[in-house]
Chain A
Amino acid sequence: MVLQEREQRLRELMLVGLSGDNAAYALFLRELAALLRSFLRKRLSSMPDEVEDLVQEVLIAVHNQRHTYDAAQPITAWAHAIAKYKLIDFFRRNSRRGEQVELDDVEDFLAASDHEAQDARRDVTTLLAELPPKQRAAIEWVKIEGLSIAEASKRTGQSESLVKVNIHRGLKNLAARMREPQ
């Protein structure tokens, strides 16, 4: 069955990714982004401009919460739960309490994917620039320039674990800023 294959493939990419294969992890995020885009586009049909922003928000949430994935659980159920949480949160933020989020099942989430990304309205680069300097520096060196943690530690004078903590805090901070009204 196609859906099962998709689930299996996503799960494998995620697990291999989490064990240190960055290319697999990137592929996982890319396929997830396509699923999210289709999922959100259907549910935000009245506000299509918001879709890509929300796709990005969910991707960052998925990344920040990757330690809460339990390998014994289906990956799509996990990602779907995060996407639904973020969608409900989005509706609440935009004071559209009346909006019903359908209690669809996970299969629906897997059914369609959409690789056509529109431009996001909110620029993550700008948000990154507003982070506290240490967090910004850690993210810039490691997550953008691609330095290893050890190299970044040398360059910033922060210990290796501090670099990691600053990246983690910075990305959580970024997620919080994405929730703020523009």
Chain B
Amino acid sequence: MKTDQLIEMLAKQDVPVKKSRILVQVLLAVALGFVGSFVLLLVVFDMNPDLGMLFKNMWFWVRFLFIVSVGAISAMVLVRLGRPTDASRVSLWLMVIPFALLAFIAATMLMMAPREERADMLLGASWDVCARNISLLALPLFVSAIWIAKQFAPVRLRVTGAIAGLFAGAGAALVYSLHCPEVEPAFLVVWYSLGMLIPAVVGAVLAGKLLKW
């Protein structure tokens, strides 16, 4: 087929695209990812029976804000990475903000705490399973995030895969926080961050295969 014929073919009928339709698809994919992650939570971990009491704990809401801001910033960055033109103007450093803030709070609290309490603050009761559990819950959201990224045209595949993974990790952390009673900043900044970073690394590693177009 000659290039002129190809152009004629591409330009025939049905050229306009409905952006609203794409938005609906994206939101639907995110919703499905959350449903999948939540079902996984119910099957594997169950909800925290004392969740109602945690609502009154300020640190529960700090945790909530931390997770949501990681998710929101990664979603924002992901939108930019999906457009070939904007990909070079992405402010990746924004990603660091929630981690840096929480690390600052955690460090301050650790310094002010008596020496013998510090290990407990860092390790809580579930340090050994936290990151693994979050990564597991991230699986359905990871599929959603990669699927969404594939609907666009990322030109920086590795970074896009990492941010998609981070988004999945943040979503999973949000779901996991319905089960997990740990709200100590020192615990969160280490183990929650690790749990979110694992899917991000997986995303970066698999990006070349999963996202190429």
Q: Interface residues, chain A, CB within 8 Å of chain B? A: 17-20, 22-23, 25-26, 29-30, 33, 52, 55-56, 59-61, 63-70, 73-74, 77-78, 81-82, 84-85, 89, 117, 119-120, 123-125, 139, 142-144, 146-149, 164, 167, 171-172, 175-176, 179
Contacts and interface: CB of A to CB of B under 8 A. Distances in A.
A125 B15 CA distance: 20
A106 B12 CA distance: 29
B155 A84 contact: yes
B153 A143 contact: no
A22 B11 contact: yes
B3 A33 contact: yes
B85 A81 contact: yes
Nearest to B157: A85
Contacts of B2: 117, 119-120
Closest 5 CB pairs of A and B: A81-B84, A26-B11, A65-B153, A124-B1, A85-B155
Interface string B187-213: 000000000000000000000000011
A154 to B, nearest CB: 14
Given A73-B86, A81-B84, 4 more contacts: A29-B11, A68-B83, A139-B9, A146-B12
Residue of B6, B83, B88 most packed against chain A (CB within 10 A)? B6
B14 interface: yes
A33 B8 CA distance: 12
A125 B2 CA distance: 9
Contacts of A117: 2-4
Interface of B: 1-4, 6-17, 19, 22, 82-88, 152-153, 155, 212-213
A40 to B, nearest CB: 12
Contacts, number: 117
B16 A70 contact: no
A60 B10 contact: yes
Contacts of A148: 13
B11 A17 contact: yes
A72 B192 CA distance: 38
A132 to B, nearest CB: 18
Nearest to A23: B11
A93 B213 CA distance: 13
Given A30-B4, A81-B155, A175-B213, A167 B15 contact: no
A89 B212 CA distance: 9
10 contacts: A18-B15, A26-B8, A29-B10, A30-B7, A61-B213, A65-B152, A67-B19, A73-B86, A81-B84, A146-B13
A30 B14 CA distance: 18
Contacts of A59: 3, 6-7, 10
B76 to A, nearest CB: 14
